[in-house]
Amino acid sequence: MAAYDKADLERRMAGAVEALKHDLVGLRTGRASVNLLDPVTVEVYGAHMPINQVATVSAPEPRLLSVQVWDKTNVGPVDKAIRSAGLGLNPIVDGTTLRLPIPDLTEERRKELAKLSGKYAEAARIAARNVRRDGMDNLKTDEKKGVFGEDERKRHETEVQKLTDATIADIDAAAAAKEKEILGK
């Protein structure tokens, strides 16, 4: 059986782009969004869990997020996770509810968020390159097994490279759009 599977490579590269878009949604642009807390994971019950699995997140006002923690013993870990997530939010604890006022974005904070979006984009590029490497390794393995010859391997390598280039272009476009949104240009 051939180790090279173009459909699997396409799926994995599309997954890298989707993961980036999911991470970029969490970067705020000055207004409250429940997606803002998507990248936050909370250490509870001996495991790291997304915040939406231990609390309900809502945006009751345009500049305020509300996090209703289901188990009162998890209020401290949720508070700590939000503060350490690097989102620039300082929760106000009120029983089992955490209120997160969304501060105005300063120029310095905008630059930090743009840098963070660049970091997310670079991680997605690395993921796409890792998928490319896996595909190239599978092609070489298949050639050694005699599944196909050198000419066919080179043709498939060209396809994999074109797929990688297209994926990285999608990643760059998503990152550039988010950076433009953050910087307000």
pTM of the shown model: 0.70
Q: Share the mean pLDDT of the chain.
A: 86
pLDDT of residue 2: 65
Range 119-139 average pLDDT: 92
Torsional class of 153: left (φ above 0), alpha (ψ -120 to 50), beta (otherwise): alpha
The dihedral built from the CA positions of residue 75, 77, 81 and 84, taken in this order, carries a sign that is positive
Tens digits of per-residue pLDDT, 85-124?
Answer: 777 778 888 888 989 888 777 788 788 888 888 889 999 9
pLDDT of residue 1: 57
Q: C-alpha angle 150/164/159, rounded to 5°?
A: 35
pLDDT of residue 30: 64
pLDDT interval class at 125 (50, 70, 90): very high
Query: In angstroms, how far is CA 2 from the centroid of its own chain?
Result: 31
